[in-house]
Structure 1
Amino acid sequence: MSASMQGKVVLVTGGGRGVGRGVALAMAQAGAAVVVNDLGVSLKGDDAASISPAQQVVDEIAELGGQAVADGHSVADWDGAHAMVQAALDNFGRIDAVVNNAGNLRDVLFHKMTEDDFDAVISVHLKGTFNVSRAAAPHFKQQVSGAYVHMTSTSGLIGNMAQVNYSAAKLGIAAMSKTIAIDMARFNVRSNAVAPFAWTRMVESIPEETPEQKKRVEGLKKLIPEKVAPLCVALCSDAGAKVTGQVFGARNNEIYLFSQARPFRTAHTADGWTPDAIAERVFPQFANDFYPLHKSGDVFTWDPV
């Protein structure tokens, strides 16, 4: 089956740059009309907004012969999220898919992280994903069809340094995606999460102070943002109609399907557990299967292809 988006309308948040820009362009090339949402702010998301990045992508789509409109609302705002969905309805008459890509970063070591650092990232990534998804939900329900793609991250799925806020949001997004898939299945609506590997301004902020950090950054520079887009298009197309509740990764020419948490070791006692018994029996029994404190880079150790 062809992964065409002909006749469909897609909202792409954070669509003015990086991965979002690649997704918006790919959706248009596949035949979709696109609402390109981008607040146009700095990486921290704390300066004046400009719609120009979104408009630039709209202009690119127009040059390709496609249809698109720009939107400058914040995903962190409930009314703003509804406004961007309404923009799809007002301009194109329907909405068929949402790609939740908007994001920000406030990387700080946990013991130095402020409440504002935490709240700012949670508001955009986790609450923003909820806001936009929820705004589209009644329309998906009414038309008995729809697709969500939510951007998660290996920072949440595996772990990373100085990203307590970002990791919490991104793992929360993976869980949110799964539960949306469960809740909306009866309406023929599907929901999947994608962990994108890409060199964008989001990762340009990674420090390069040590040889290890420099080596990591050199590897990240090989990751092409536009390589994430084909998976997003396929998931939103009719060809992805039976794919829901999954967590994928896209890393240049590689696509991953991530495992989801399931129990794999069990300890049982007929008499019930005491703290001492747990310490004496359970911890040693499970010790060989404890996960080490891996960071994302410790797991993905091979060069991207």
Structure 2
Amino acid sequence: MLSVEIRHAIDPQTAKSFDTAALRKNFHVGDIFRPSEIRLIYTHYDRMIVGGAVPAGESLVLDEVKPCGTASILDRREMVIVNIGGEGTVLADGEYVMAKGDMLYLGMGSGPVTFAGDGRFYILSAPAHHTYPSRLIRIDEAANMSLGAQETSNERTIYQFVHPDVMTSCQLVVGMTKLAKGSIWNTMPAHVHDRRMEAYLYFDLAENQRVFHMMGEPDETRHLVLKNEEGAISPPWSIHSGAGTGAYTFIWAMAGDNVDYRDVEMVSMETLR
């Protein structure tokens, strides 16, 4: 079963007037991992698609997605699939066996995508202009960097999978951040990047724990309270940062004008409101 929700772009002035319910309706990503279903959110931020597929012992096929306007989703798109569950298989232009934490890049024209096995598959897709080779990337093949410190509660390792230091894509840049024991903050100090949108997915969070995801303009911040396997759509004008009540990992994904991970505008602590 396939379901597709459309999210229109929201400007910062409109977002200032939103209450909690409106913020969650427009920016919260939740309930995308239902057994035997593929659930997608088609956003008007750089036409990014985020979603989930849970085969639950069946085979699920992702092919035509009407908002894309093509016969098959990858006719004019690229895709990254992240497995956050048990071992699973993805069939597209080849067959790929994925363990937890693996990321699979599928180039434009890879055909329909079939999900099987015990995986819980996080789906990201953006328009493409060229066909680059599909590639399965495991965590030991990812570039990585360590940031933060225990003293500031933000010691973390950033793993760059679909990234210029690892491989070539059209516009998707995707990675994973793991926080060290005792650290709770990610992406703080905060930044914005007006040339790219971003999407977050938090996972490996205990059922009774939560992440407070910070968003909004630097001088007009808001927050979303997220549980395990939930995330946020971050517009280009918004900060994207979070603090958890317990340990967690998150996947970050960008699409837009460039793939330069360093092309950001840092936000000073004095600016945040």
Larger Rg: 1
Q: Fold conserved (TM > 0.5)?
A: no
From the two aligned structures, give the one with the greater strand fraction: 2
